[in-house]
Amino acid sequence: MLDEMRKKLRVLGVEVIIDPTNGTLKLPAGGLFLAGQAEPTLQGQKTIRTLGRVLVETLPCYSNLSTSAPPAAKCPDLNIYSTLSSVYVEGHTDVVPIGASTGRFRDNWDLSAARAIETYKILREAEPLLRDLHNQDGDALLGVSGYAETRPATTNKDRLLETVRDLDRRIEVRLTMTANEATVRQAMEELNQHLEDVNDLLR
């Protein structure tokens, strides 16, 4: 799914980095946010709206389900035994501490959460269908989280460099999967029935 989204974003002119192991998609960080600001730059807003377009084309195939889900013909071959559990919009900051005296944010935790929330709002306003997506428990699929400066974007140890700080001021999207309980249960019942049939033949 991440690779599918990366390819779609590339066609639309947005290069992202995906990490299949951790289930994350990293938006291009340079110029996404100004230091100390939660509202994305104009370029950042454009990038986020493009992300929304790709999310609304992709997520309904893996959710449980939107009333406006695309027809099966538009969905790729899916692993029917798993489904999306959550899609988190994650906000991050650079390493420079921000204090309450410098503006509306108490600290970097507050700022990172605000960046995630602003991004979340832009996504939902640009693509209202995202509001209708739920996981198999009926919970809203999209959520937000903030990590302050605790998850650096690069391995560069000098995080005070402006180029590194710019990369740290970013948004990532994290997708988590869970077992499709109904499908797994059905498969187990069919397997048990086959085993019983085999036992009957061996008797």
Query: Residues 110-145: pLDDT tens digits?
Result: 999 999 999 999 999 999 999 999 988 889 999 999
Higher pLDDT, 26 or 82: 26
Residue 162's alpha-carbon distances to 106, 107, 159, 179, in angstroms, are: 22, 19, 8, 43
Full-model pTM? 0.81
Nearest to 141 by CA among 29, 26, 58, 46: 58
**d(Cα 22, Cα 175) in Å, to the nearest integer?**
8
Pairing of strands 24-26, 17-19: antiparallel
100: pLDDT strictly greater than 60: no
Q: What does the pLDDT read at residue 173? A: 97
**d(Cα 183, Cα 17) in Å, to the nearest integer?**
32
168: pLDDT strictly greater than 80: yes
Q: State the DSSP code for 140.
A: B
Q: What does the pLDDT read at residue 89? A: 98
Domain boundaries, the chain: 2-202
Q: State the DSSP code for 17.
A: E
Phi and psi angles of residue 171, each rounded to the nearest 5 degrees, phi first: -125, 135
Task: Give per-residue pLDDT as tens, 27-59.
Answer: 987 789 998 999 999 999 999 999 999 999 999
What fold, for 2-202?
60s Ribosomal Protein L30; Chain: A; (3.30.1330)
pLDDT tier for residue 101 given thresholds of 50, 70 and 90: low
Segment 95-108 shows an average pLDDT of 80
Q: What does the pLDDT read at residue 87? A: 96
Residues pairing with 145 in the sheet: 90
Q: What does the pLDDT read at residue 196? A: 65
pLDDT tier for residue 98 given thresholds of 50, 70 and 90: confident
The whole-chain average pLDDT of the chain stands at 85
Task: Give per-residue pLDDT as tens, 65-75.
Answer: 544 455 444 67
pLDDT tier for residue 146 given thresholds of 50, 70 and 90: very high
